[in-house]
Amino acid sequence: MKSFFMKLKEKMRGPSSDLEIPDETDEGYVELATDKSHLDRSKISIRPFVLEEFAGVKPILDSLREGYTIALINIKPLKDVDLSELKRAINKLKKTCDALEGDIAGFGEDWICVTPSFAQIHRETKVAQPRGPSAPGQGRDDDMDGF
């Protein structure tokens, strides 16, 4: 095996002795430690938060920056106390979400969902339908919807 590497070395660099290959190679096994915390971090968690004050944004942002958390945030307590603080908190969440290339959306009156870049929040798109007849003499076929 050593002679093969020496020949390869000579072809690549020319005859030189600055690269030494050891005579003995360790043919034993290498034991890799399985880091339990690393395995746990590979799972995605959906975590609820309650936003009671502006300072409550920090733990939410920290968990989002780790990249394994989808945050469901109840904003009702802060909304009832101070709307300006709520706006500050939501703007902070939006900026961080943009920086992480994540997604943010509100659902209901009191909840916000924030996701990292690997997840996307589904948004229902509403298609506008015409209200009246499209041409003279033609009506809408609403009565045919049941068939």
pLDDT digits (tens, 9 = 90+) for 79-92: 999 999 999 999 99
CB 21 within 8 A of CB 3: no
Q: What is the pTM of this model?
A: 0.58
CB 67 within 8 A of CB 101: no
pLDDT value for 7: 75
The CATH number that domain 41-115 falls under is 3.30.110.150
Distance CA 121, CA 119 (A): 7
Mean pLDDT of 49-61: 95
Task: List the beta bridge partners of residue 71.
Answer: 47, 114
